[in-house]
Structure 1
Amino acid sequence: MADTTVKVDSETRDRFAAVAAARGQSVRAYLAELAIEEENQLALGRATAAFREAVGRPGIAEAFDREFGGLPATTRANRAA
């Protein structure tokens, strides 16, 4: 992959460098990882929105309960103290 330059102010550059150093990474490696993480977060946000839309449709929860027997009954042992 070819190299390119991204212009940022020196404060931002220093912050990236500090975070990368704390993680034991180069700035290049840190930014590459950060880009992937951000792409994943965007995809997760889209998937979450689609899921919420789907389960919010009338009859979906009832169909799930019919097909799969509903959610397991909550017992005292399963609940947080």
Structure 2
Amino acid sequence: MGDTTVKIDTATRDRFAAIAAARGQSVKSYLAALALEEENQLALGHATTAFRTAVARPGIAEAFDRDFGGLPQDDQRAA
């Protein structure tokens, strides 16, 4: 994959460089990892919304409890 140039202000460039250096990475590898992490966070947000929509439907929680035995109970002995 080829490289490209992105224009950002010098303060932002310096912040990225400092973070990358603290992690022992180049700015290029840090930004690649940051982009991947942000993509994953967006996907997780979409999945969370879909999950909340699904479980909010009437009868879904009861069907889960019926089919899978419900959520585990807190073990009071572990306290």
> Gaps (5+ residues) in structure 2?
none
The question of 1:64 aligning with 2:64 is answered yes
Distance in 2 of aligned mates of 1:20 and 1:73: 43
TM-score normalised by structure 2 residue count: 0.93
What pairs up with 1:1-81 in 2 under 5 angstroms? 1-78=1-78
> Gaps (5+ residues) in structure 1?
none
Q: CA deviation at 1:2?
A: 1.1
Identity, % of aligned positions: 75
Q: CA deviation at 1:32?
A: 0.4
Whichever residue aligns with residue 17 of structure 2, its letter is A
User: What do residues 8-34 of structure 1 show as CA deviations (whole Å, max 9, x unaligned)?
Assistant: 000000000000000000000000000
Other structure's SS at 1:66 match: helix
Q: CA deviation at 1:64?
A: 0.6
TM-score normalised by structure 1 residue count: 0.91
CA RMSD in angstroms, aligned pairs only: 1.1
Q: CA deviation at 1:70?
A: 1.3
